[in-house]
Amino acid sequence: MAPVEVAVSGVFEFQGPASAPKAPTAVAVSVSFAFQGGTLADFCELLRRLDAKPNIVVAPLAAQAKLPAMNLVGASVDQALSAACAVAASDVRIALKEFRGPGDPVFTILAQAPKAAEATEPDVAAKGPREASPDRTATRVFSLNKLLAFDVPVETILTALDAALETAYETRATATLRFHKDSGLLIVRGSADQLRLVDEALRCIVAEAPQLMQRRSADADAPSQPGGKTGK
């Protein structure tokens, strides 16, 4: 019997004979929205009101975790929830688990108690730069959309951050920097001192961005002179 062509949400796939059809292939859904800040419960409720209408279960202890404002563009549901859990401020660990099966996936946000050793150890963020433990790491999410609006290349931002980290921590364990192009978010994992340094460097770049854009505009408008030079 000839194969049957089936259309599923705009995606075509070839299945077996019509007498024994396969289950439709799930199509990834992206979301775009601005979150003004609030609790993790507020964030999940906003996600549920979008067209994707994801299945989200939130543990009571995790629901009241505080989230900063964020702007996501073209992110998948699991990316949005992962970023939210990464920056959630709470006394407990916030973790995301995804359950898949025959139906739509179910995302469960868990509240996990900290380890006993971590519960009794002083907060790394409260220590001085020389006292911070190199074994303690955390994750923060920074928005680069303001810099991208000034046409600052992502490569320029990442190389500047890398240079700052290498200069300050010659023998450090390497911090992880990951840029999500569609949302304009930079996800950084490292020690408390490394995260503070990244935050400080980004603030400096933001402060200089208008001047950089003006200089590039002036260079582009300057008429070309013989020999490859520019001038008025």
CA-to-CA dists, residue 93 to 88, 135, 199, 225, angstroms: 9, 17, 23, 61
Compute the radius of gyration of the chain from its Cα atoms. 23
pTM, two decimals, is 0.42
**pLDDT tens digit sequence for 59-113:** 998 899 999 988 888 888 888 899 999 988 888 889 899 998 888 889 999 988 7
Are 66 and 90 contacting, i.e. CB atoms less than 8 angstroms apart?
A: yes
Which CATH number is 28-114 given? 3.55.50
Q: Check whether 227 has a pLDDT greater than 80.
A: no
Which residue from 33, 38, 65 is spatially nearest to 50, judged by alpha carbons?
33
Confidence of residue 131 (pLDDT cuts 50, 70, 90): very low
**pLDDT tens digit sequence for 166-198:** 877 654 457 889 999 888 899 998 888 888 889
Confidence of residue 116 (pLDDT cuts 50, 70, 90): very low
Q: Check whether 210 has a pLDDT greater than 50.
A: yes
Q: Note the pLDDT of residue 120.
A: 34
Q: Note the pLDDT of residue 38.
A: 92
**pLDDT tens digit sequence for 145-163:** 888 888 888 898 998 888 8
Confidence of residue 232 (pLDDT cuts 50, 70, 90): very low
DSSP strand E in the chain: where?
4-8, 11-15, 30-35, 38-39, 55-58, 66-67, 70-76, 93-99, 106-112, 138-143, 176-180, 185-190
The domain made up of 129-219 is a member of CATH 3.30.1370.120: yes
Break the chain into its structural domains and give their ranges. 28-114, 129-219
Residue 118 has a CB neighbour count (10 Å cut-off) of: 12
129-219 shares the fold of 28-114: no
Dig out the tokens for 12 from the structure.
């075509």
Are 152 and 164 contacting, i.e. CB atoms less than 8 angstroms apart?
A: no
Q: Check whether 7 has a pLDDT greater than 90.
A: no
Q: Check whether 143 has a pLDDT greater than 60.
A: yes
Cβ-based neighbours of 152, under 8 Å, separated by 6 or more:
205, 209, 212, 213
**Beta-bridge partners for 35:** 70
**3-class SS string, 196-212:** HHHHHHHHHHHHHHHHH
Dig out the tokens for 4 from the structure.
């049957």
**pLDDT tens digit sequence for 29-62:** 778 888 999 999 999 999 888 866 889 999 998 8
Phi, psi of 54 (to 5 degrees): -75, 155
CA-to-CA dists, residue 95 to 20, 98, 117, 156, 180, angstroms: 39, 10, 19, 32, 20
